[in-house]
Structure 1
Amino acid sequence: MRHLPRLASRIWRRRVAFWSGAVAVGAVSVLFAQAADGAEQIFFHATHKFWALPLIITPLGFLFCAWAAASVFPGSQGSGIPQAIAARQLPRGVARRRLLSVRLCFAKIGLTVVGLLCGASVGREGPTVQVGATIMLQVARMRGLQNERGLILAGSAAGIAAAFNAPLAGVVFAIEEMSRSFEVKTNGLVLTTVIIGGLVSLGLTGDYTYFGSSDAAVRGLGGWVLTAFCGSAGGLLGGLFSRLMMDLSAWARGWMSANPKFRRLIYPFCCGLLVAGIGIVTKGDSFGTGYQTARAAVEGVAPHWYFWPAKFLTTLITAISGMPGGIFAPSLSVGAGLGAWIAGAGGHAASLGAMLGMAGYFAGVVQAPMTAFVIILEMTGNTGAAIPVMVAAMLGLGTSRLVCPRPLYHELAHGFLQQQHITLRRPGGQDEPA
C-alpha cells in the first residue's frame, strides 16, 4: 500500500509526458505548415517579377538540398514516411533513433522549406509524418514509455491529421499504411494523439477544409462511367509513377556511385534545371505543391490540359533527385488535374472529376485506398460523393497493381532497413513489444 502513491505519481507523469508530446506534434505541424506555405508564396512572388529566376535558384536549391540530405543529414531524403515505417520495424536502439533523431527532424523541416523556396514539386505532409514520429519517440525515450512502436505510429498519424486537418484520415493512414493491421492497444494511443494534436491544430488555425468545399455528386449512368474512367486511369498513372520512382531512383544511385564526388552534385543540379524548364514552359503551374490549382479544380475551375502531365513529371523528377520532401500534395494535385481533364472531355463538371481523379491517382501511388478516399472526403467536406470516391479509389488500387505490384512506401522502407541488414516483416504482422 505504501507504494501506491508513488506508482500513481509515475503513471500520471507518463500520461502528462504523452499528452505533452501530442500537443507538440500539433503545434510543430502547424508551424511547419505556415513556414512551408510562406516559402512557396515567396517563390511565386519572386518569379512573377523575374520569370527566368527559376533557371538559377531551382537547380542550385536542388543541389544544396540533395547534398545536405546525403552528406550532412543522411536519412532525411525523400518523404519521411518510409523512415517512420522502417523505424517501427527496427529494434529499440541506435538504428531506430538514427532515423528519428531531433537533428533529422529539424533538417527535414528546414530542407523541405528550402525546397519549396526554390520551386520544387514537394509537399510537407510526408515530412510531417517523420516529424510527428520523431517527437513521440523522443517523449518515449525521455520519460521511459515502453511502447515505442505504438508511439511512433501515433506520432505519424497525428502528423497526417494535423497536416490535412483530417483526423479520421490520420487514424486510417496509421492502420492501413503504417502498420497494415488493427491492434486495439496501439490504436488507443493513435486516437488519443490524433485528438490532442487535432485540438491544438484547430486552436491555432481554426476549422477549415483543406481543399475548400464541393457539392459534386454522381448523377446518372454518365457519372458512373466518369467514375470508372477516373479511377482506372488514375490508378494506372499512379502505379506508373511509383514504378518509375523506384526504378529511376535505383538507376540514379548506381550511376552516381561510379563517380560520386562529381555526379552527386551534377545529378540534382540537372534535376532542378529540368523542373525549372518545365515550370517556365507551363507559366509556373508545375512549381510547388500544386495546392491552389487542385483546390480550384475541386471548386469547379478546371486547370489547363497540360497541368497534370507537367505536374507528374516535375513531381517524379523532384522525388528521384534525393532532396527531402513529400509527394502527398503534389500527387493529389496531379489526380485533380487528370480527373478534371477527363471530366471536361466527357462534358462533366470539373469538381466531380477532380475528386474522382484524386482518389484514383492517390490510391494508385500509395496503394492505400481507404486512406485515399477518407482524406479526399474529409478535405472537401463532400459526403454526398462518398460511394463514387470509394469506387474510384478501389479501381485505382486494382489498376495500379498491374503496373507496380509493390507498395511504394514499404518498398522504400526496405532500403533503410537493408542498411541495417534487417528484412521488413510482412504487412499484417503483429507488433512485438518495443
Structure 2
Amino acid sequence: MPKPDLAATRARLRKARMLRRSRRVWVSRAAWRPRLVFWAGALAIGLVSVAFAFLADEAQHAFAALRQPGGFGFAATWLLPPAGFALSAFLALTFFPNSQGSGIPQAIAARHLDEAADRGLLLSLRIAAGKIALTLLGLLCGASIGREGPTVQVGAAIMLAAGRLGGMAQARGLILAGSAAGIAAAFNTPLAGIVFAIEEMGRAYEARTNGLVLSAVVLAGLASLGLTGNYTYFGESEAAAGSAIDWVLVVACGILGGALGALFSAAALRLLRRLKRWTVGRPRARVVGAAALCGLLVAAIGWASNGATYGTGYEQARAAIEGTPLPPLFFAEKFAASLVSMVSGIPGGIFAPSLAVGAGLGSTIGLVLGAGSGLAATLGMAGYFAGVVQAPMTAFVIILEMTGNQGNVIPLMLAALLGFGTARLVSGEALYHSLSRNFVADVLRARRAEARHTGL
C-alpha cells in the first residue's frame, strides 16, 4: 500500500528537518551569543552584589570608628550626617538623576515603559554606579538605609545592558530577572528572589520569563556562593512556636507589625509628596537643604539611641534573633531614623532597616508577653516587613531563608499574612508601586517636554 510508505517518508523528512534545525541552534554563534551575554550579566550581578556588601560593611565600620570619643567624634556625630546627606542629594540630583531612594520603584517603573530610551532614564550602568557610590556615602554618614533595594536597581540595570549587548529583545523579562538576581545575591536567598520577582516586581508575571528568572538567580547565587560561601543572612535560629503564649505572640507581632509597617508607608508617601510640591521651582537648593535637615535629625536620633540606629541595623536584628533582647524603644528609634533617611531622598534601601525595626518591635512585644526574644524578633520581622511592602509571600520566604528555621514555617506565614491584612486595612497604598507611578509620570513628563522643545 503506497499511502503508509508516503506517510513514513514525510515523517522521516520532518524529523530530518528538525534535527538540522536543532543542530543549527546549538552550533550557531547567533544563537549562543545572547545566552552567553545573559549568563555573564547574571554572574556580574552576583559579583557586584558581593563587592557592594563588603564595601557597605566597611563604610559602616568607618563611620563607627569616626564616632569614637576624642578626635573627630563630635564632628562625625553631628556634622558628618547633615553634610553627607546634602552632598549625596546634590550628586544624585545633578549627576545621577533617578538614583534616589530604594531603587525597587525605578525597576518596577521601567517594566511599565515601552521605549528603550525611557527605560534608560531609570536603569543604566551610569545610574547603577552612582547608586552604589551614593549608598556607600549614605552609610558612611550614618544613614539608616540598606543596600538590598539598590542592588535590585543595579541588577536590573546590569541585566538590561547585557540584553542590549546580546541582542535580546525581552526587556521586561530582563528587568525581572535582574531584579530577582539582585535580591537573591544580596541576601543569599534564591527562593526569595524568585518569589520577589513574582509578587512584588511582576504583578503581571509572564510564564515565558520563568527561564530567565531562574537562570539569573542560579548564576548570581553561584557567583555569591563562590565568594562568600553558604551562609544564612541572620545566622541559625531554632526558635519555634510551641506554647499558647507563643501563638499569642504570633498574632500580636502580625497585627502590630502590620499596623506599624502601614504607618511607615503612609507617612513616607505623604512626606515625599509634600516635599516634592515644596521643591517645585527651586528643586536643587531645597532638595539639598531638606536632605541636610534630615541628616541632622538622623544624627540626633543616633545620639539619643547611643548609635544603635545608624546604618542597616543588621547587627541588632541578628542579636535579637539569636536571643538577646533589644532595648524596648529601639524599634521606635529605628523607625524614625529609617523614615527620615528615606524622606531625605538620598540613595538607599529600606529592606534591612525594616527588618531591624521588625526585630525590635518583636523583641519588645516578647518582653511584654514574657516570650522568647528569638522567636519574637523573627515574627516581628515578618509582620512589620509584610506591612511595609504589602508582599506577604516575599516577607515569609525571605525571613525563612535568612534564619534557616524550617520549624517555624506556619507561625511565620501567619504573622506575615496578619501583617499584610492589617496593613491593607490601615493603608491601601503599596509603597513601592505608589513610588513607581511617580517615576513613570516623571519620565513621561520629561519626554513630553523634550518633544515640545524639539518641535519648537
Query: Which of the five TM-score ranges fits, normalised by the shorter chain?
Result: over 0.9
Hey, what's the Cα distance between the residues in 1 that align with 2:276 and 2:200?
26
> 1:259: Cα distance to partner?
4.3
Amino acid at match of 2:304: V
Question: What secondary structure does 1:402 align onto?
Answer: helix
Q: 1:115 aligns with which of 133, 138, 153?
A: 138
Q: 2:62 aligns with which of 23, 39, 42?
A: 42
> 1:10: Cα distance to partner?
1.1
Hey, what's the Cα distance between the residues in 2 that align with 1:373 and 1:337?
17
Task: Provide the residue aligned with 1:22 in structure 2.
Answer: 42
The reply to whether residue 307 of structure 1 matches residue 327 of structure 2 is no
> 1:255: Cα distance to partner?
1.8
Amino acid at match of 1:12: W
Matches within 5 A, 1:365-380: 365-380=388-403
The reply to whether residue 239 of structure 1 matches residue 262 of structure 2 is yes
Task: Provide the residue aligned with 1:174 in structure 2.
Answer: 197
> 1:262: Cα distance to partner?
3.6
Hey, what's the Cα distance between the residues in 2 that align with 1:184 and 1:87?
19
Whether the aligned pair in 1 keeps the contact of 2:240 and 2:407 (CA below 8 Å) is yes
Matches within 5 A, 1:288-303: 288-303=311-326
Q: Would the alpha carbon gap of residues 237 and 77 (structure 1) be closer, same or farther in structure 2, given more than 3 Å must change?
A: same
Question: What secondary structure does 2:28 align onto?
Answer: helix
Q: Which structure: larger Rg?
A: 2
Amino acid at match of 1:143: G
Unaligned runs of at least 5 residues, structure 2: 1-16, 446-456
Matches within 5 A, 1:80-99: 80-99=103-122
Task: Provide the residue aligned with 1:162 in structure 2.
Answer: 185
Q: Would the alpha carbon gap of residues 41 and 187 (structure 1) be closer, same or farther in structure 2, given more than 3 Å must change?
A: same
Whether the aligned pair in 1 keeps the contact of 2:90 and 2:284 (CA below 8 Å) is no
Whether the aligned pair in 1 keeps the contact of 2:121 and 2:443 (CA below 8 Å) is no
Hey, what's the Cα distance between the residues in 2 that align with 1:271 and 1:18?
40
Q: Would the alpha carbon gap of residues 98 and 259 (structure 1) be closer, same or farther in structure 2, given more than 3 Å must change?
A: closer
Task: Provide the residue aligned with 2:339 in structure 1.
Answer: 316
Deviations 1:238-264 (A, max 9, x none): 000000000000111112225445422
Hey, what's the Cα distance between the residues in 1 that align with 2:101 and 2:420?
23
Whether the aligned pair in 1 keeps the contact of 2:93 and 2:284 (CA below 8 Å) is no
The reply to whether residue 105 of structure 1 matches residue 125 of structure 2 is no
Question: What secondary structure does 2:235 align onto?
Answer: coil
Question: What secondary structure does 1:73 align onto?
Answer: coil
Task: Provide the residue aligned with 2:209 in structure 1.
Answer: 186
Unaligned runs of at least 5 residues, structure 1: 423-434
Task: Provide the residue aligned with 2:218 in structure 1.
Answer: 195
Hey, what's the Cα distance between the residues in 1 that align with 2:195 and 2:284?
43
Question: What secondary structure does 2:65 align onto?
Answer: helix
Deviations 1:375-396 (A, max 9, x none): 0000000011110010000000
Large movers: runs of 4+ above 3 Å: 1-7, 258-262
Hey, what's the Cα distance between the residues in 2 that align with 1:417 and 1:9?
37
Task: Provide the residue aligned with 1:347 in structure 2.
Answer: 370
Q: Would the alpha carbon gap of residues 261 and 379 (structure 1) be closer, same or farther in structure 2, given more than 3 Å must change?
A: closer
Question: What secondary structure does 2:443 align onto?
Answer: coil
Deviations 1:192-222 (A, max 9, x none): 1100110110000111110111100111221
Deviations 1:310-344 (A, max 9, x none): 00000000000010000000000000000011011
**TM-score, normalisation: structure 2:** 0.90
**TM-score, normalisation: structure 1:** 0.95
Q: 1:406 aligns with which of 409, 419, 429?
A: 429
Hey, what's the Cα distance between the residues in 2 that align with 1:159 and 1:260?
31
The reply to whether residue 391 of structure 1 matches residue 411 of structure 2 is no
Task: Provide the residue aligned with 1:32 in structure 2.
Answer: 52
